[in-house]
Structure 1
């Protein structure tokens, strides 16, 4: 009896061990609670306003699957069932509706579009929507003009639009990047009017490192989309600006001051201002150059020169008392005296300003000046400011 029982145990163990060596059916792997119920629930909205190079769609995240939705948007491509590994937009967080525009699509091309939403458990997709973009014949035709005025950090280009594609040009300009084939929307672009014809694009700040390779194209947008001119490649100019601190010197009524600067310069770091710069095109702008003997309002003497843009070249110009910073084409000046007893007011009676350097490349203005003035408290007595000098940075954005 013992022998039979022992044989039974050995047979049973042998059978059990043999079973563990059998291959496990693939469908039985990773069994457990279904993961789908913990993913976001999302649907894709109907595509609207499909034109040659853009379309509008979106999605609705009905449920977050129990975890925060950390990304959502559209995925799209020219093959069915696009995923987040393909082209995509990023349109906020959480549940709810979102709308987005797909830009820079290829004309006359079929695209497959799905909304997506991601939480910590994974990414789910909405229903697939299929569109076909409009013909390229509806788009503007244009060329990009050559680069000029390549002086860091600015540059000038533009474009020539020869046809509007049968729809009014609503936006035009240039777009640039340190990568090839730049497109809009972009923070690195200009907006230069509407309609066909030639336009000039002045780039005040390329916003790239000096010496970088820059790729630039003209663009034009109509109701059917955006098209681009030929791509121009150039090297952003080296930064040759002189960033030395502003300094004014002057002998005021026999007292020499050798370290005058704009008021509160240590806090602002601003050398010059341009006034009247919101006036219509053609109206004069005035470069304000200010120097104070100290930052104490009750004791400082302040000298301010106002130079109209028709004098922003090397030359000598008379200075008159400041009285018109709207239409005057004359260089003007004003002196504020210390606020002592009687609060004297100074009035310029004569003066001269010589610009010895006005250099956009080094962004510097240098010159000399003299002033004569009378005080309200001592009529008929003339006071002098002599041996005045200025060496300031042209750091006002307008001068770009």
Structure 2
């Protein structure tokens, strides 16, 4: 007899439930994916750099090398040198960007437009994403540029109260000229603290007149130049003024109510002042109003006649006739001094060259007159002071050349 096994109902239900639950799940194995590694954030710092001592130091420029020793962890955007007259110059002030950069981190900066003889402060800088970093500070002083050098010409011309000197530029120098002039005094090495004549124009050469001096006195004179930084003096010269002249005149029959007499007297008053200030001549002459004389005339004896033509009743004519009374065209020595129309005396010619700043100038003449500056007619009397001064100085030169006055 076959016994039949029957599973209890609750067990059957449990088995079915378990089988049903397993069939809903995937039978494949699931593998976990590893996470991406997170790199740490790189720290960025200011660069580190050094400033080296200047090279090629000059009056207006300098070369400075810097070196970035650590870029701070990022690229250098800009590098250069900050500089100025105060300590700790910075990026907001004067700066120059590097002109040359080497792979070693070194960089070159050429500073220009500096001022001569100034003390400067400088430090290198480097800019990266973090900001601006500075190197160590250095200090340097620019050199003084070569100044312009002026000298006094060899020929100096003296009156009793005036000295004329020719100033010329020998060396232009390398610095900007701010002022030029002459200093003078009774003691050696005059400075700006002594008597000074400042020129209005910065001329390369000029003739200077020193006034209001004492007669028969030695003066120390030297040119000076002033730049933005200093005063430079030229070579000193010693020049002596001459004795004041004693040229006098008397006017025969002077009548203050006669306008011709008044004009003639005024002319001779002024003319004798020029002769006494710029010659050492001692002479007395007699002036006559002579209506019948077409212009004017004079002789070595000291007699002068002036006619009624008002054009010849002037200072120039008076000086011209006074020159005749001291030998021009009236003394035998004159014929020795004039050869083939050229005046042979060295001193009068040297005075003319210097006073006109013309090295080729020569006094010319004939048996009666000389020129230029002889004032040989009313048309040559331009009324200018320098015409009268040079005339008198040439006469003084003729005295030195041997032309007698009496």
* Length-normalised TM-score, structure 1: 0.29
More strand by share: 1
